[in-house]
Amino acid sequence: MPIKIRESPKIKTDFSITVLRKRLLAIYIAITFLFCFVLGRLFYVQVIWGEDLQEKAIDQWTREIPVVAARGEITDINGVVLAANDDTYTVFVRKKAVKDLNALCTALAETLSLNYEYVYKRLTETVSSEITVKKQVRKDAVNALLKYGFDGVYYSRDNSRVYPYNEFLTQVLGFTSTDGKGQSGLELYYDKYLKGIDGEILYETDIVGVEIDGGKVSYIPATGGLNLKLTIDYEIQQLAEAATAEAMTVHKAKSAQMLILDPQSGAIRALAIKPSYNLNEISRSDISLLYALSRNSLLSDVYEPGSTFKILTAAADIEEYLNGNPKAFSPTHIFNSSRYRYIDGQKVKCWSNHANGKHASLNLQGGLNNSCNPIFVDIAMSLGKDTMYKYIDLFNYGRTTGVDFSGEAQGMILPISAVQNVDLARIAFGQTIAVSGLQLAAATAAAINGGKYYTPYFAEEIYSGGIIAEKIKPKMKHRVISEKASAILSEMLEGVVRDGSGKKAYIEGYRVAGKTGTAQKYENGVIAAGKYVASFVGYFPANAPKYLALVIIDEPQGEYYGSTVAAPYAKQVFEGIINLKNLPPVE
């Protein structure tokens, strides 16, 4: 007979208590987890998500009218205002608050010079509860609308950009969008300083967006943008504008460009390009035309500089001679008077026919005066491509200058590994290389100011009221040649204006120096018959340069040499500066 074992009451009780405890612990953990989840969710909603929810709540029970910040002014170095603001307004309509739609559409169309069908369509078919009817509305039109007393119509200041001098410094200043944002030029480059911080007006409304009578109105003021003072001198800019306009007319040119800078700092005093357009009458319907006219070609386009590039070749030879390089020529060395040089079986010739011994017995000074190509070929071939490319690099060709402007070109230079002897020969006198006008001007400034390369710049300071937020100082990159070599070169370039091809820039008593240039143009890889770029880069006084001018006339008709087409306009501007600044002759 099997033995029956009876379960102890104590063991059963202990087991029940253990199970109960486990169940209670599970419940406790679940409650704790649920509590933590609710607490975490509450924390997320109130702290992390709270600001967003608060904004949504405010947005649901309020309507905002933007208060556009006044854009900062742009002035010249003497405080002449070049870009300012005119108070205009944006007209808004809240559909839910409108009581007489047809009357409102009629009034808006008549007052704002809009088509009735356009206004009616905007107010009936636009999904948004708040509709922008028109921006940049004049004050008199706003006053006329206010007299109607329509419900649901609101106004906010939006400002209109105004350029007091119309077609002036066009490609430098640039322009803004209809929303007041910088779109080109300095308006774009310095937009973050000029634009300011917008404010707003908050109106209490009901759930459908109708303003509550006696509701609270909150005003968050806008913070105006900072002002920008340029290195540009308004009076010198006027001279450059007049000179380029005259050059376009007289020579029936495709374009005329002029850049004036201070060689001792890189500060740009004037930049004028023709053809141009009125900044207050921007045609946005033809984007390609607007882009072409607003493009700052002196910074963004490249061209073969021709003989103005000989300044670099001469600088390299002088510096290497002073450093004892046996491959360099002394300033007194007399070069072969042949018109031709044969490089790797190819004929490289001078622009002149050398008739009547015209280019006989020339040293470096004579080579510059007569712009004799073979002399510079001899220099480059003797120095070699490594040395020539060292100076091309020192003078910052093939790289942007670092100017405070968007869209600057790097230029086009053959890689040293790809350069053949015939390429080097042509580079020596400004062919087989493409540079921007600004690159050439900055490099020339470095060659004649004592040998220091300065970064060109437009902005002098950023300020508000009497407080200067940032003062922009000249930035010297490096030395390109010695002070002695620079002085020798400058004396030679003074001889070019006094006795050589630059005579039409000569001004008695003011020691003008410079170099002319004439380059043929290429189209589809071949020389374009009858198309030239005439140029001149000059400065004064030669012994202590203060003003450097680069003049480029593209495709002049008839005469096309830089000596006869471009140099006279540099002289014209230099004489204007002398009169404006009451500069005495140099003794």
Distance CA 497, CA 345 (A): 35
Count CB atoms within 10 A of the CB of residue 29. Answer: 10
DSSP 275-303: S---TTS---S-HHHHHHHH--HHHH--B
The Cα-based distances of 354 to 33, 500, 531 in angstroms read 100, 15, 23
- At residue 466, the 3 state secondary structure works out as coil
Q: What is the largest CA-CA distance in the chain?
A: 151
Token pair recorded at residue 79: 């405080």
Distance CA 514, CA 440 (A): 12
Residue 307: active-site member = yes
Q: For 46, which DSSP code? A: I
Spot the catalytic one: 156, 265, 297, 307.
Answer: 307
Distance CA 218, CA 195 (A): 23
The Cα-based distances of 208 to 52, 121, 129, 161, 203 in angstroms read 21, 21, 9, 36, 13
Question: β-strand 268-274 against 227-230: which pairing, if any?
Answer: unpaired
Q: What are phi and psi of 54, to 5 degrees?
A: -65, -40
Question: β-strand 81-86 against 160-162: which pairing, if any?
Answer: antiparallel
Catalytic residues: 307
